[in-house]
Amino acid sequence: MKHLYTLFLVFTTSVAFAQLAPPAELEPYYSNVDFTSTGISLKNDLIDLTTDKHINFLSYSDVWEASKITDLDADNSNNIILLYGYSDTDNNVTTDRTRAKNANGGGVGDWNREHVYPKSRGNPNLGTSGPGSDAQMLRPSDVQRNGQRGNLVFANKSTGQFLNGESGSTNGGWYPGDEWKGDCARIIMYMYLHYGERCLPSNVGIGSNTSTPDDMIDLFLQWNAEDPVVEGGLEDVRNAYHANTSNEYAQGNRNPFIDNPYLATAIWGGPDAQNRWENLSIEDVSQNTIKMYPNPVNGNEVTILSNKDIIAEVYDILGKKVKVQSISSNQSKLNISGLSQGVYLVKLNSENGTETKRLIKQ
């Protein structure tokens, strides 16, 4: 049985890395970064960039307003997306994936600001200003689910646990859910990049740093590879908003590991993560635009729009290929009637290359 994690999680044994060059729209932002370098040298360039571009320091109250803009549900602009959430249909408010955007507060049924890097695990405490009010790190979360996580460190789930992608307590820590583990890993990487020893990865995750040149741990490198960035998804929307200083609540800086998860591989080694800049050109993007919706999906069909013929390969969260379907440019339905509830990766292969999207079946 071939597992998808064999594609993502084979640890690099060579010092050779893929060439990195940001696409044209990101070149101005990254103009001072030497992408021919790797390891700590590349990390230092990204530290300088991330710090220098952070020109608007939001108050803790400002983050409420920023979140109502950056974390909107693409399918319902009256709602925001909740970190750690996984179901809107199980009649359990604490597991909700979406919530009315103005239902923020501190009561049952409200959403609040989750410190993905818990305040108390910073050295010193992150507080509610500076790193403690960094909107790249704070995410909306159900109040009770946020309380269940508390300041638990991140940990891998046990075998056979959370088979439908749920979040929850595990192995003395907290598993953020199949949909969110990559998001959380890239946030922790950003915090370490921006705030250094005040936000050590080893203080917030169960894993080893013996194979990395500093304090990065293998857990976050694994999650970054296993759960790639969804093209045009929530992480991209948040990043684009905060990079645009004309936006009222924009910080000015980006999370580089969202722009390209492979930057983590180039700095710290470990499993080969998604390289969003590999063989990318404006011509390729215009030639083959692929959209997939609705997502999450409650039914048995997903619409895939493409101007090229594609082959869709669907993998479950353990990496097992569970479906293959050819989809022509004039036939746009992917049949998922045989799939149970959970999180899947959909590889969309065309003559111009491969695009990977995350699919949630509720």
What is the rounded CA–CA span in Å between residue 113 and residue 83?
Answer: 10
Residue 36 near residue 17, CB atoms below 8 Å: no
pLDDT of 7 above 50: no
> Token match 């022509």: residue?
328
Which ranges of 269-318 would DSSP assign to H, the alpha helix? 282-287
Would you say domain 282-361 falls under CATH 2.60.40.3080? yes
One-letter amino acid at 82 equals: L
Task: State pTM to two decimals.
Answer: 0.79
pLDDT value of residue 201: 98
One-letter amino acid at 9 equals: L
Mean pLDDT of 261-268: 97
pLDDT of 54 above 70: yes
Per-residue pLDDT band at 331 (split at 50, 70, 90): low
Residue 302 near residue 333, CB atoms below 8 Å: yes
For the chain, residues classed under CATH 2.60.40.3080 are 282-361
